[in-house]
Structure 1
Amino acid sequence: SNQIFTLLTALTALTVQTSVTVVSESAVALAARGACVIVACRDPDKAEEAVREIKVRSRSLNVLHMELDLANLRSVRGFCKNFLQREKRLDILINNAAMPGVLDWTDDSFSMCFGVNHLGHFLLTNLLLPRLKECAPSRVVTLTCSTYKYQKLNFQDLNYNLLPFFTYCRSKLANVYFSQEVARVTEGKGVTSYAVHPGLVQSGWTCHYSVLFRMLMQVIMWMFFVPCEVGAQTVIYCAVSQEAAKHNGGYFVDCRPAALRPFARDAAVAKKLWEVSERLVKEA
């Protein structure tokens, strides 16, 4: 389709790596389809570099950058106010919740993983939901990871920040619950929601770690991980496929619905996380 529509892709708070992210590959594909692509990212220099590359590869000039720091809820609120004043359409929101497990804290004193991967996107999506409803049918695509299955949420310690891998797993499980609850709260309003595991991809997430770890992971990724172009296919599928629209609230792997572990399908937990998240972002 050559229909013009608006795609907002919200990247992680720290960096956007050109050529090596699933979402940048998705942005290229969707810009080539006629989307107005808005890249939301904290680092303006790297974002502009990404915008230039997306323009060249998609042969579209309808790509721009807006500043957004998902590790700062004041920035999220300011971004949404600015976006809603400037843009009259929002058809697809891609939440690239990809902050790796790091022992750090957001500006609002949440653990970096939970704060960026879940709360930042939670607030962003909620503030943009009215526009998504106005532009229905519209979609919210949230990137998660199959590692969600290795942890469960502890509502007594959502800010768990001791073991980086487990912290990351919990934030990915929160993404799964969040995506399901978006589908529930917008049911009948023309907004559909999907959680996507793009696969283990050769991305730039190791930039947050030591040189030795980066070198080791580069070898492992080269041997076992898939290129970002491959990982992007499921994101693109959920963004535009009519078939995907039949599975609102679904979890997708390899361009098809996939089964979740039973505990990750608990509607009561998803609703509780939503309510707790509302309180946390309001208090921050």
Structure 2
Amino acid sequence: GYKEEYCALLRRKINMKYTFWGNSGTGKETAVALAARGARVIIACRDHEKAARAVREIKLRSRSFNVFHMELDLASLHSVREFCKKFLQQEKSLHILVNNAGMPGVLDWTNDGFSMCFGVNHLGHFLLTNLLLPRLKECAPSRVITLTCSCYKYQKLDFQDLNYNLLPFFTYCRSKLANIYFSQELARITEGKGVTSYAVHPGFVQSRWTCHYSFLFRILMQVVMWMFSVPCEIGAQTVVYCAVSNEAAKHSGGYFADCQPAALRPFARDAGVAKKLWEASERLVKLA
């Protein structure tokens, strides 16, 4: 269990007006937690039916009617741009942006020709955050929370082949390392502007990432997750902590696990690599 003072903090009501999240797994549990604390929640999802079901469940569990969904496919940069255009027209406030999508390593490609894992986990979030950054600054203090994973430590970035798609697990590790560098560089460029950034490892949770694989693999991994993983509700607590905690605000650019700052491998704290990845990502998504 978490420390008593953390649990008390996580029950605190918040006045943030808008946040983003997802339609299943850790994302849905975070949406429930934030909606129950008074936040207006907008989940972004590419599947309208799944999103509608998730909204109904989140409303029921959080006892809040202030939950909505909008269409977004992070595998399409065009969809990201359309989503941001629509959001900025309809919504006047944005205080919390949670970058939650976690595509596992699969041998597939996005509409824009990027490996699915790198394109969704990093580039989609990168473009989304940048297009919404002016609104985040307007609504400061605001926060950007990007989910990553401790498996980042097994790979380093190769700027000659950021799209690496040969070994799915290593592709996933690189995308999670990119999430960490992204969070750090975002904290650097928004320093003093009221926007803080956090990379969060939710732990190994019982999520639905296996839905992209074969039936037999899903059965095997369900057994493994049942034995060694934690429920999604537990995994969401560190995300909620970074969304509402005053203490977390002191650690912009930090890496969090178990509701507290955690240490990173030295190569994952390289500011030069973080800046280089940011500039490369700007070129890849054609961000002026």
What TM-score does the superposition give when structure 2 sets the normalisation length? 0.94
1:81-114 deviations in Å (ceiling 9; x for gaps): 0000000000000000311010000000000000
Match 2:245 to one of 217, 241, 244: 241
What is aligned with 2:20?
Answer: 8
What is aligned with 1:137?
Answer: 141
What is aligned with 1:97?
Answer: 101
Instruction: Supply the distance in 1 between the matched residues of 2:67 and 2:241 (Cα, whole angstroms).
Output: 20
Q: Which runs of 5+ in 1 are unaligned?
A: none
1:212-262 deviations in Å (ceiling 9; x for gaps): 000000000000000001100000000110010010100000000000000
RMSD over equivalenced CA pairs, Å: 1.1
Alignment of 1:1-284 (within 5 A): 1=13, 3-9=15-21, 11=22, 16-17=23-24, 21-282=25-286
Instruction: Report if the CA contact (8 A) 1:97-1:144 is conserved.
Output: no
Shift of residue 8 of structure 1? 1.7
Shift of residue 4 of structure 1? 4.9
Q: Which runs of 5+ in 2 are unaligned?
A: 1-12
Instruction: Supply the distance in 1 between the matched residues of 2:169 and 2:28 (Cα, whole angstroms).
Output: 25
User: Which stretches of structure 1, 4 residues or more, deviate above 3 A after TM superposition?
Assistant: none
Instruction: Supply the distance in 2 between the matched residues of 1:35 and 1:174 (Cα, whole angstroms).
Output: 29
1:150/1:4 CA distance change after superposition, 3 Å: closer
Instruction: Report if the CA contact (8 A) 1:8-1:90 is conserved.
Output: no
1:167-223 deviations in Å (ceiling 9; x for gaps): 000000000000001100101000000000000000111000000000000000000
Aligned residues: 276
The one-letter amino acid of 1:218's match is Q
The one-letter amino acid of 1:63's match is V
1:117/1:4 CA distance change after superposition, 3 Å: closer
